[in-house]
């Protein structure tokens, strides 16, 4: 059955996840909600003596604690080898210590991750998007199997944030997200300016096209410059520092009320991040005492807030994919049309990388997300009345924070935006009947027409760029297909190609794909083309030399080919053989839905 039809059959207001319809006796104690209502299934009485024996062995100190203390899962997406995630175990230990100080039992565990920065441009990137589902599966599994009463999750890299929120929506027990925080900016001695991970990819494009040079021409060789950038772009722990996918998701989730104030913009290595971890213990107790559960916070109003923040701050196209999946998991109706509606009314205000010059660490220095939200609430653009994990409204949370400084230059005033409307544009047309997502800041113009050069895989385009085969001059639309959720499989990010184009200053080129882009991508780019090529979408039959027009003013993406010719080509088209037939990617390709519905595997 077509996954789209399955998606239409789902009743969004009735997510079908395991629930405990028959809670044990004692869910209320002295007229108050018992905080151990799930764990007491195992710990009250003697129905599960083996479970109690195991829990004593794991560290429960005495009978009183066994019978009355709630169990809080501390789920970190920790693993070594990636700066976004390598410090999360320590953050989890700080949270655990404070949960225990507050008289609760804390059980620390972690789930898997993939480094987008390390896998970018390689075959490993195909495994990235499906980690979102594995993270959600892991946290749901441990929470429900172990009868945890609450969950505090600590994500770091891109897919981590939506993964933990999807898990929250599934198990629907009191939960808080503590973001691992973003990395400090690096500094290049050869370029004599601040740098970050995006610099690596864009400099590679300049290196290939022999345009990479130091500030003082001839002072350093291109190889010396590249080595300097590679060594210094990531100076410590934390997620990529611009308004890339990780920070897009963390700021959006804070605006939805699922994390503590300023969680999203507090740097990873700041003492303030450790203080946030300490506060999480008392906050999760408030959530349990007041029965503040995720699906009470994941509402259409809170998703509206997320979309406002995404547009105002210039967030990643990946957020479209992840918001749709989060909403679908929570049973909240959200569609591509909602993104366009919000984009049409919210100005793009933030001079943040990748299209701007500042990083999230700079935003923290002027007050962080609470100050930004205070500005947007006062302007009537953000809803301050939504409930949050603190037990207070969003407006109450940010009331004590300072307003944005008058002399700051990161967030533009409403009367002088970078762009009067949002940078995310939802396009449809004969090339993308079911939608596509464009990231158009206006700096590159609002329309583009060029001749197609078609690549059936990302590596083909990367090879062409490495060999300098993409010419300057005539307007070109580079088409990368068979990289969608099923066709990839895994819908890999294509930052390597988009950054190379920017670094080489190939301004005559637009890039479109049924795959997706990194949050660090910018330029005239369109992704998430639906239907994807692998299932017979029109993008499968684009030919070299076809004229393609991208029009953000009319929200269209079309090839100058008649519908009759498109249909004739499709009738002659033969689906390619599956590139992966076994293992986790084959399983993912079999289950995943289309990008216009969030590339969800949870369709049944």
CA distance 214 to 403: 39
CB 596 within 8 A of CB 6: no
In degrees rounded to 5, what are phi and psi of residue 105?
Answer: -90, 135
Q: Do residues 35 and 288 touch, judged by C-beta distance below 8 A?
A: yes
517-529 burial code (b ≥16 CB/10 A, e <16): bbbbbbbbbbbbb
Pairwise CA distance, residues 396 & 410, whole Å: 24
| Alpha carbon 80 to chain centroid, angstroms | 20
Q: By C-alpha distance, which of 234, 232, 229 is closest to 184? A: 234
The answer to whether the bond into 489 is cis (omega within 30° of 0) is yes
Catalytic residue among 76, 518, 521, 596: 518
Collapse the DSSP code of 181 into the 3-class scheme (helix H, G, I; strand E, B; otherwise coil) and give the result. coil
CB 88 within 8 A of CB 54: no
Residue 310 near residue 252, CB atoms below 8 Å: yes
Whether 518 is catalytic is yes
Helix (H) or strand (E) holding 71, with range, is strand 71-76
β-sheet bridge partners, residue 150? 72
Q: Is 144 in contact with 156 (CB distance < 8 Å)? A: no
Whether residue 354 is preceded by a cis peptide bond, meaning omega within 30 degrees of 0, is yes
Question: Which residue reads 């990780």 in tokens?
Answer: 246
| Distances in whole angstroms, Cα of residue 198 to Cα of each of 31, 176, 179, 184 | 55, 30, 21, 14
**CA gap 584, 112 in Å, rounded:** 14
Q: Which are the catalytic amino acids?
A: 518
């Amino acid at each position: 059955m077509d996954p789209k039809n399955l998606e239409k059959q789902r009743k969004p207001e009735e997510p079908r996840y395991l629930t405990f319809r028959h809670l044990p006796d004692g869910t209320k104690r002295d007229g108050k909600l018992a905080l151990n209502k799930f764990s007491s299934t195992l710990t009250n009485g003697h129905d599960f003596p083996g479970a109690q024996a195991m829990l004593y062995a794991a560290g429960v100190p005495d009978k009183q604690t066994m019978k009355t203390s709630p169990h809080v899962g501390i789920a970190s997406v920790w693993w070594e080898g990636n700066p976004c995630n390598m410090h999360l175990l320590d953050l989890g230990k700080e949270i655990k210590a404070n949960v225990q100080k507050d008289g609760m039992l804390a059980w620390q565990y972690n789930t898997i991750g993939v480094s987008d920065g390390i896998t970018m441009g390689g075959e490993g990137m195909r495994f990235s998007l499906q980690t979102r589902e594995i993270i959600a599966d892991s946290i749901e599994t441990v929470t429900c199997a172990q009868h945890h009463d609450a969950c505090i999750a600590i994500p770091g890299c891109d897919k981590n944030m939506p993964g933990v929120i999807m898990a929250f929506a599934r198990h629907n027990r009191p939960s808080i997200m503590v973001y691992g925080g973003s990395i400090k900016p690096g500094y290049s001695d050869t370029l004599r300016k601040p740098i970050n991970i995006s610099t690596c990819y864009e400099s590679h494009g300049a290196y290939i096209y022999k345009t990479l040079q130091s500030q003082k021409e001839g002072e350093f060789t291109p190889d010396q410059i590249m080595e300097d950038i590679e060594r210094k772009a990531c100076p410590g722990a934390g997620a990529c520092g611009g308004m890339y996918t990780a920070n897009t998701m963390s700021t959006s989730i804070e605006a939805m009320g699922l994390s503590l104030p300023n969680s999203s913009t507090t740097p990873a290595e700041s003492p303030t991040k450790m203080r946030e971890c300490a506060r999480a213990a008392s906050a999760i107790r408030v959530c349990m005492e007041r029965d503040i559960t995720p699906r009470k916070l994941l509402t259409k109003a809170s998703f509206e807030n997320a979309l406002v923040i995404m547009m105002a701050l210039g967030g990643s196209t990946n957020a479209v994919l992840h918001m749709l999946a989060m909403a679908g998991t929570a049973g909240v109706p959200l569609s591509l049309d909602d993104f366009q509606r919000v984009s049409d009314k919210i100005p793009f205000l933030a001079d943040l990388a990748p299209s701007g010059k500042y990083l999230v660490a700079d935003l923290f220095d002027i007050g962080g997300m609470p100050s930004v939200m205070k500005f947007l609430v006062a302007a009537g653009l953000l809803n301050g009345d939504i409930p949050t994990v603190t037990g207070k409204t969003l407006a109450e949370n940010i009331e004590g924070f300072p307003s944005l400084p008058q002399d700051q230059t990161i967030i533009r005033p409403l009367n002088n935006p970078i762009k009067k409307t949002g940078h995310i544009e939802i396009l449809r047309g004969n090339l993308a009947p079911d939608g596509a997502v464009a990231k158009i800041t206006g700096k590159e113009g609002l329309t583009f027409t060029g001749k197609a050069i078609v690549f059936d895989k990302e590596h083909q385009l990367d090879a062409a760029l490495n060999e300098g085969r993409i010419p300057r001059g005539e307007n070109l639309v580079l088409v990368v297909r068979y990289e969608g959720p099923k066709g990839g499989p895994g819908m890999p990010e294509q930052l390597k190609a988009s950054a190379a184009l920017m670094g080489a200053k190939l301004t005559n080129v637009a890039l479109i794909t049924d795959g997706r882009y990194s949050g660090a991508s910018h330029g005239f780019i369109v992704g998430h083309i639906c239907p994807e090529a692998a299932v017979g979408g029109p993008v499968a039959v684009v030919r070299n030399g076809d004229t393609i027009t991208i029009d953000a003013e009319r929200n269209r993406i079309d090839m100058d080919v008649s519908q009759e010719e498109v249909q004739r080509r499709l009738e002659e088209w033969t689906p390619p053989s599956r590139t992966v037939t076994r293992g986790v990617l084959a399983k993912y390709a079999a289950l995943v839905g289309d990008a216009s519905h969030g590339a969800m595997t949870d369709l049944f």
